[in-house]
């Protein structure tokens, strides 16, 4: 089955700087890669996703890049703000199969 690894497990960045979280996946057939943001005790919120037919997608301060050859994808947050502090999960899926989640990254924005 699919295996998703996520790094780093914790990340602290100064407010205004950029944050990058990386994930690798094992199943080359996976074609959908969402990113979720989860605040303590709350539901994961989809913040951005990318499908295998594109290499990059951007939504304001958030961007995701995908390298299918290397089987890795990354989340980029620019101009970080305190409200970006949360746990971020990457995930991978093939077709209508189940999502396989990474282990999460606890992002802390330092004011």
| Site residues (vs other proteins, CB under 8 A) | 32, 34, 36, 41-46, 49, 51, 89, 96, 98-104, 106
Q: Please, which residue, 14 or 108, has the CB nearer to other proteins?
A: 108
Least CB distance to other proteins at residue 16 (A): 27
Least CB distance to other proteins at residue 105 (A): 10
Query: DSSP 3-state helix, strand, coil percentages of the chain (rounded to 5)?
Result: 5, 55, 40
Least CB distance to other proteins at residue 49 (A): 7
Number of residues assigned to the chain: 111
Distance CA 23, CA 102 (A): 7
| Strand pairing category for 19-25 and 4-7 | antiparallel
Q: Please, which residue, 12 or 14, has the CB nearer to other proteins?
A: 12
């Amino acid at each position: 089955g699919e295996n998703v690894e996520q790094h780093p497990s914790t990340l602290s960045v100064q407010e205004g700087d950029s944050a990058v979280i990386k994930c690798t996946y094992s199943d080359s057939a996976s074609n959908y890669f969402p990113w979720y943001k989860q605040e303590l005790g709350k539901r994961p919120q989809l913040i951005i996703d990318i499908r295998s037919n594109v290499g990059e997608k951007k939504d304001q301060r958030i961007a995701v890049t995908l390298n299918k050859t290397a089987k890795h994808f990354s989340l980029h947050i620019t101009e970080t703000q305190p409200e970006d502090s949360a746990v971020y999960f990457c995930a991978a899926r093939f077709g209508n199969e189940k999502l396989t989640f990474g282990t999460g990254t606890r992002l802390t924005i330092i004011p």
